[in-house]
Amino acid sequence: MKKSRGEALFRESPPFSAVVYDRLLRFEAMDVHYQELARDLASMIDRGRLLDAGTGPGRLLLEIHRLKPDIELFGLDIAASMVQQAKKTLTGIQADLRQGSIEHTGYEDNFFDMVTATGSFYLWDRPEACLEEIHRILKPGRSACLFETHRDFDEEEFRRGLKANLQRENILRRWFMPFFPRKAIEMSYRREEIVEIVKRTRFADSFTIDEMTLARLPIWLRIRLTKTRLP
């Protein structure tokens, strides 16, 4: 059996792990990270249904709600513990939060006005199947926007950005926080590998991939996938 890229590990994560994960990532640079993501997404959609796949503790949905409260929020995560943490993050905010895989979501055809995911594409065991599912649940003419780390970045710029992000953090955070982006980069695809994956799906003729910097880190790609309108 093919080894899981990460789905199996997250699916079985215990309840306390989501709490620890959320607390570890509550520092200034991560706040900026979510705020920048939310602004980027909010520039593309004013209302309608938005799904955050791999929503984790729900912080991106919270930031989107602050900018565009008319957007209907949906969150999906493979870990039940993360869904429970997201419900706490979004207390008092209307959001449909579910445990499930992006490969088999259970949503209706042509249901969402936007689908997004951040730093989870590289963990999908069957990325082509996941993209096909995203295509199915998107409304015709609408787009998915995936934010994904990649390995083709400027190492020196990355080091400068990481140093700036951590300079006001305590010594413990300065010691262990570089582990998270490094681990993600180690497991991530190269840009050309992502292109080849997308080309094997129904998004083959309707996608763009742009390099971007989030919270000073130049390790990100914005992968925009558009479902062409039906005849």
- The domain spans of the chain are 7-226
In the chain, where does DSSP find H-type helix? Answer: 7-11, 15-24, 28-42, 59-67, 80-89, 127-137, 155-166, 171-176, 179-187, 191-199
Q: Tell me whether strands 207-214 and 95-99 are parallel, antiparallel or unpaired.
A: unpaired
Q: How far apart are CA 93 and CA 191, in angstroms?
A: 36
Query: Mind listing the pLDDT tens digit for each residue in 151-162?
Result: 999 999 999 999
Place of tokens 């789905």: 7
Kindly report the CA angle at 28 between 25 and 31, in degrees rounded to 5? 70
**pLDDT for res 9:** 67
**pLDDT for res 231:** 52
Mean pLDDT of 111-127: 96
pTM greater than the 0.85 cutoff: yes
**pLDDT for res 181:** 86
Q: How far apart are CA 76 and CA 86, in angstroms?
A: 10
> In the predicted model, is pLDDT for residue 130 greater than 80?
yes
Secondary-structure class of domain 7-226 per CATH: alpha beta
Query: Mind listing the pLDDT tens digit for each residue in 13-43?
Result: 777 677 777 777 778 889 999 999 999 999 9
- Identify the band that residue 68 occupies on the pLDDT scale cut at 50, 70 and 90: very high
Query: Mind listing the pLDDT tens digit for each residue in 169-214?
Result: 888 777 777 788 888 899 999 999 999 999 999 999 999 999 999 9
**pLDDT for res 7:** 73
